[in-house]
Amino acid sequence: MIFFLSRLSRLLGSRLHGWRLPLVVIVLVFLTSWLAMALVEPADSPIVAPGNYWWYFVVTAATVGYGDFFPVSTAGHVVGTYVIVGGIVTLTLLFTRLADYLQSARGKRRRGVVALDLADHVVVLGYVPGRTERMLTELSAESSTRVALCAWDDVPENPVPENACVSFVRGDLAHADVMARACVARARTVVVDGRDDNETLAIAVAVDHANPGVHMVAALRDLGRRDNLRYVNPRIACVQWHMPTLITEEALDPGITDVYSDLMSEGGHGNTYSLRLPDGHGFATFGDCQVHLGRTFGATVLAVRTAEGLTVSPPWDTPVERGATLYYVGRSRITAGELTSAR
C-alpha cells in the first residue's frame, strides 16, 4: 500500500506541478477507499453512507480519529489503514509544496526581483559596500524607518539581510520598472547615490518622473553639478558625496543641509560665535543664558564649555560657572561688555 502510494505520487509528480498533486492524491484516495469500504463492509454499516463517509475520511486521514464511525470487518480495517497512509502522504506533499513556495518567495525577495508593498518609506538608489551599510543603519535607527535599497544587477542578493527594516530591489536604477518595484511613487524620501555624477543625474530624472513631489537627496562628487540637477527639480537637496552622515540627516530631516550651508557660508542669516562669560556675569544656569541672549540679542546658544568639557545642547538647569564659554548662533558677535550692560 505504501509502495503503491509512493509510486503513484512519483508518477503524478512528473506530470502535475504546484498544488495540483496533493489535491489529485487526496481525491483519488477518497474515491478508491470509499469504493473499497462499500465492498468489504456489511450492507447495513453506517460508515459507507455518503453523509458519514466524508467525515470518517477527514478525521482518519488527518489521524485524529474521533471513533464515531469505524469499520467492523478485517478488510475494512485494511481500507482504514490505506486512508491513514493516504492522508499522511497528502499532508507530506502539502507541507513540501508550502516549504518550496516559502523558500522560493524568500529567495526572490533576497534577490530583489519582486515588487515591494511600501509607503511613506525611504528609497536608497545605489550601493557602495561599507558606505551604504552605514547609511542604512542610520536611516533605520530612528523609529524603524522602512527602507527600500535598490542596487544594480552586479549585486546579486540583499547585502544586509539581517536588517529587517531594509527591503531589496535589483535592476537598472534609472528604469521605470525599478521605480515601480521600489514604490518610489509612494515614498517619503529618495536618496540618489549613483556611481558617478552623470549616473546620479540620470537616476534623478527617473525619480522625478515617478514622483515629482518626493523629497530627493542627491550625493554629488562635484557640487558644481548641482545646477544640472536643479534643472530637473529645483527642490533637490544636493550633498557632498563624501559626507554620508549628512546625506542621511537630510533624508530624515529635510532642509537640514540648507541650515548647515547657511551657518557655514559667509554673509548667511546667522553665524556661529563663542563668548567667554566674564566675572560676575550673574547667570546661574544655561537656561538663563539662553533666555537672555535670545530675548536681548536674538541669538541661540548651541553649546557650553566648562571645566568638564564641551556639552552641546545641555539641559537648561546646567550650572554655568565663572570662565564658561558659550557657543551661539547670531547675526553678529556679542562682546562681554554688551552682555553685562544688557543685564
DSSP 131-194: HHHHHHHHHHHSTT--EEEEE-TTS-S-S-TT-TTEEEEES-TTSHHHHHHTTGGG-SEEEE--
The CATH number covering residue 101 comes to: 1.10.287.70
Residues 196, 230 within the same domain: yes
Q: In the predicted model, what is the mean pLDDT of residues 9-21?
A: 56
Q: CA–CA separation, 91 vs 74, rounded Å? A: 26
Confirm if 270 and 262 have CB atoms less than 8 A apart. Answer: yes
Domain stops at, among 264, 288, 321: 264
Beta strands 271-276; 122-125: pairing state: unpaired
Q: What is the largest CA-CA distance in the chain?
A: 115
Helices (H), the chain: 2-13, 20-40, 50-61, 74-111, 131-141, 176-181, 197-210, 226-232, 244-252, 256-264, 286-297, 336-341
Tally of CA atoms within 13 A in the half-sphere of 211 that contains its CB: 24
Give the residue among 244, 8, 40 at the shortest CA–CA distance from 130: 244
Beta strands 309-312; 237-240: pairing state: unpaired
Q: CA–CA separation, 124 vs 169, rounded Å? A: 10
SS3 (DSSP) at 68: coil
Beta bridge partners of 217: 191, 237
Confirm if 204 and 226 have CB atoms less than 8 A apart. Answer: no
233: alpha, beta or left, given left = phi > 0 and alpha = psi -120 to 50? beta
Residues 297, 326 within the same domain: yes
Give the residue among 10, 49, 57 at the shortest CA–CA distance from 30: 57
Residues 128, 260 within the same domain: yes
Instruction: Evaluate whether residue 113 is within a structural domain.
Output: no
Per-residue DSSP letter, 118: -
Residues 136, 252 within the same domain: yes
Instruction: Evaluate whether residue 279 is within a structural domain.
Output: yes
Residue 105 predicted with pLDDT over 70:
no
Site of grid cell 553685562: 340
The reported pLDDT for the residue numbered 134 is 93
Instruction: Evaluate whether residue 85 is within a structural domain.
Output: yes
**pLDDT range class, residue 212, cuts 50, 70, 90:** very high
**pLDDT range class, residue 80, cuts 50, 70, 90:** confident
Instruction: Evaluate whether residue 117 is within a structural domain.
Output: no
The CA-atom distances, in angstroms, between 264 and each of 101, 176, 244, 332 are 55, 38, 18, 14
The reported pLDDT for the residue numbered 166 is 92
Give the residue among 259, 262, 330 at the shortest CA–CA distance from 296: 330
- Of 108 and 125, more confident: 125
Residue 92 predicted with pLDDT over 90:
no
Instruction: Evaluate whether residue 115 is within a structural domain.
Output: no
Residue 118 predicted with pLDDT over 90:
yes
Residue 224 predicted with pLDDT over 50:
yes
The reported pLDDT for the residue numbered 14 is 47
Q: Residue 256 contacts by C-beta under 8 Å, 6 or more apart in sequence?
A: 249, 250
Domain stops at, among 81, 108, 135: 108
| Residues of the domain holding 324 | 271-341
Per-residue DSSP letter, 303: E
Instruction: Evaluate whether residue 116 is within a structural domain.
Output: no
Q: Residue 327 contacts by C-beta under 8 Å, 6 or more apart in sequence?
A: 272, 273, 274, 301, 302, 303, 304, 305
Q: What pTM value is reported for the model?
A: 0.63
Total domains in the fold of the chain: 3
Residues 75, 27 within the same domain: yes
The amino acid that residue 6 corresponds to is S
